Amino acid sequence: GAVVSQHPSRVICKSGTSVKIECRSLDFQATTMFWYRQFPKQSLMLMATSNEGSKATYEQGVEKDKFLINHASLTLSTLTVTSAHPEDSSFYICSAREAGGQRNEQFFGPGTRLTVL
C-alpha cells in the first residue's frame, strides 16, 4: 500500500518550453501533496505544499508563476515548469500524505529527472 507514482520519470526539453509532471497516489487518497527539488549531492528542498482543491503554498524563493501546481483531485497533483531554462534542470520529487493518516508521514514518488537543453 501507500504507493506514489510520478510521470514521466525522465524528460528532456528545449529551453523556453513548458513541462508538466504528474504525481499520483495509487492506492490512497492524498489531501496534501508536496513537491521537492533535489540537486546533485544536495538535500531535498521543499518547493511547495498543495492541498486538494485549494491554492498551493510556496516556500520562500520559489516562483509560483514559474512552477505551477494543481491539485485537482485527491489522487493527482501536477507540477508545470513554465518557460523552462537550463537552470531548472533537476530531480523533482513529490510526496503525498494520506487523508486521515499520520500528519508527519509522507510517501514519496520515484522522482522525475528534468533536463533542459
Partner 1 sequence: GDSVTQMEGPVTLSEEAFLTINCTYTATGYPSLFWYVQYPGEGLQLLLKATKADDKGSNKGFEATYRKETTSFHLEKGSVQVSDSAVYFCALSDRAQGGSEKLVFGKGTKLTVNP
Binding residues for partner 1, rule: CB under 8 A, are 4, 6, 34, 41-44, 46, 49, 93, 95, 97, 103-106, 108-111
In angstroms, rounded to a whole number, what is the distance separating the alpha carbons of residues 30 and 26? Answer: 10
| Residue placing its CB nearer to partner 1 in the complex, 32 or 78 | 32
Is the distance from CB of 97 to CB of 33 less than 8 angstroms? Answer: yes
Pick from 54, 44, 19: nearest CA to 94? 44
Do the Cβ atoms of 96 and 106 come closer than 8 Å?
yes
- In the complex with partner 1, the residue whose CB is nearer, 14 or 40, is 40
Closer residue to partner 1 in complex, CB, 4/81: 4
**Which CB atom, from 54 or from 104, has the smaller least distance to partner 1?**
104
CB 86 within 8 A of CB 76: no
**Number of Cβ atoms within 10 Å of the Cβ of 62:** 17
